[in-house]
A and B are shown apart, each in its own frame.
Chain A
Amino acid sequence: MSALTVVRAGALTTVQDLGRTGLAHLGVPRSGALDGPAHRLANRLVGNPAGHATLETTVNGCAVRVSSPVTVAVTGAPCPVRADGRPVAWGAPVRLPAGAVLDVGTASAGLRGYVAFAGGVDVPPVLGSRSRDLLSGLGPEPLADGAVLPLGAPCGPPAAADAVPSAGPPVGELVLPLVPGPRDDWFAPGTPAALAGGRFRVSPASNRIGLRTEGPALKRTTDGELPSEGMVLGAVQVPPDGHPVVFLADHPTTGGYPVIGVVPESALAGAGQAGAGVVVRFVVARG
């Protein structure tokens, strides 16, 4: 059986696929790759279906040794890629011989890289997904040095090289469309529109659960507590400290703070790539 051995786990490298849906009513977060388009592209480049599991790296990449010859591709945050010390292509299929070490370097922009292997990372699925959910601890443990992960059998030749439909990581500024509601009436009229002013920055406390922001605190005009209600991916929740949090893949399924608006899923890949200090603008959009 084909496998990879972790040589350098990196700051945080997890196995991710398209996540678990249909279980939010049991308290199970969706999870899955934060930069969905980059995950899909990596799979496509090595001939995998979109749902095969990839490795999601954070900031400083990772290094793995492969036991058998395998085609790999690295996408997401741009970074140097080496095979046995020699530079190889980023964003393109690369054929590795048995025993080769693939080193995914530190991102030059953005945060999260995606490493696809032909056949996919074949750890046992949990509730239909191989994704690591950092909120509830479902799925395989984050990578650790020396860990061995099985690889699946390749299912076909890689897709022919084609245009790379990636917006790339946000540079300096993250613009997120925001559909107001369901609880925008807990804030002064015009508050969602005022979020376009560029006074927010990505907080270093951001993670796979949420993109936290720093900036002026939003003031509620409604007192009292909101009973727990269901939360969607991309919900912009405003906790009592007034600093908006954009819910990402590992977000809790219910919450008790008002959601001023929702960032459509199609715009969240950039949020998964925006590092601390990036300016955040929310631009009101109609759903």
Chain B
Amino acid sequence: MSTAPRPLRVGPHALLIEVADTAAAQALHAELLRRREAGALPPVSEIVPAARTVLLDGLADPPALAAEIATWTVPPLPPAEGEPLVVGVRYDGADLAEVAELWQVAEEEVARVHSALEFRVAFCGFAPGFGYLTGLPEELHVPRRATPRTSVPAGSVALAGAYTGVYPRSSPGGWLLIGRTDAVMWDAGRDPAALLVPGRRVRFEVLP
């Protein structure tokens, strides 16, 4: 199914382009990056993908671009090329038992199930370098904790709703913790500073 992207005005210099779902947002994001690379997009300061939208900020003439985008046919995401980024995880998170119960599997099965999936960074937010990774099938979606933790350790691998995320640094958080990685998710001195950038494919590997 392909519905035309719906551009919404956001103040004098931005457009929020709404599509049907996260897969469509990822496809639109890839198309916008392709067009920018090809010089086929007017100058823009930010391209921010999210769950069902892509925000374009810093536009000189949003209505002109809105009219053009409404006529676009966005191709589906191109087939994955190359190998995904592999992130090693010790699956010993504080909420492992709760996730196992929600998934109706044994506790030690969580690692096997989660590490067998391939994920994709749909968007970032919450903190620099915090990626929202899609790839969990619907039956594995889990709720957030009713009461968020005041401090979640850096490197925690966690689940909420449709998403997997990795806390780039210690912060409060309400996601269910399934494990921990030593991978440095965020380093302001590195380029790119974030390990998980939108569009990146990711696989998790079980560490003993």
Q: Which of B43-51, B76-84, B87-95, B105-113 lies at the interface with chain A?
A: B43-51
Q: Which of A20-28, A70-78, A88-96, A272-280 lies at the interface with chain B?
A: A20-28
A136 and B58 within 8 A (CB): no
A179 and B11 within 8 A (CB): yes
Q: A interface, by DSSP: helix, strand, loop or mixed?
A: loop
A27 and B8 within 8 A (CB): no
B9 and A181 within 8 A (CB): yes
Residue of B11, B52, B54, B58 near A21 (CB, 8 A) is B58
* A interface bracket (residues with beta carbon within 8 Å of B): 20 to 34
Q: Contact flags (1/0) for A214-243 with B, using CB distance below 8 Å? A: 000000000000011111101100000000
* B window 110-141: CB within 8 A of A: 123-130, 132
- Which A-B residue pairs are the 4 nearest by beta carbons? A230-B55, A262-B11, A254-B125, A227-B51
Closest B residue to A30 using CB positions: B46
Chain B nearest CB: distance from A237 CB in Å? 12
| Interface check B10, CB cutoff 8 A | yes
Chain A nearest CB: distance from B99 CB in Å? 22
* B interface bracket (residues with beta carbon within 8 Å of A): 35 or more
A253 and B58 within 8 A (CB): no
| Interface check B69, CB cutoff 8 A | no
Q: Which of B150-158, B173-181, B192-200 lies at the interface with chain A?
A: B192-200
| Interface check B12, CB cutoff 8 A | yes
A232 and B11 within 8 A (CB): yes
Chain A nearest CB: distance from B159 CB in Å? 16
| Interface check B166, CB cutoff 8 A | no
Decide yes or no: A136 and B53 within 8 Å by CB, A26-B193, A179-B12 being known contacts.
no
- Name the residue in A126, A227, A261, A287 with the highest tally of chain B Cβ atoms < 10 Å from its Cβ: A227
| Interface check A138, CB cutoff 8 A | yes
Chain A nearest CB: distance from B160 CB in Å? 11
Closest A residue to B189 using CB positions: A126
A228 and B55 within 8 A (CB): no
A127 and B48 within 8 A (CB): no
Decide yes or no: A287 and B48 within 8 Å by CB, A138-B128, A230-B57, A232-B55 being known contacts.
no
Decide yes or no: A228 and B132 within 8 Å by CB, A21-B45, A25-B46, A252-B125 being known contacts.
yes
Question: Inside 8 A of A232's CB, which chain B residues have their CB?
Answer: 10-11, 13-14, 55, 57
| Interface check A264, CB cutoff 8 A | yes
Closest A residue to B21 using CB positions: A227
A25 and B124 within 8 A (CB): yes
- In the bound complex, CA of A281 to CA of B194 (Å): 39
- In the bound complex, CA of A255 to CA of B48 (Å): 12
| Interface check B188, CB cutoff 8 A | yes
| Interface check A46, CB cutoff 8 A | no
| Interface check A182, CB cutoff 8 A | yes
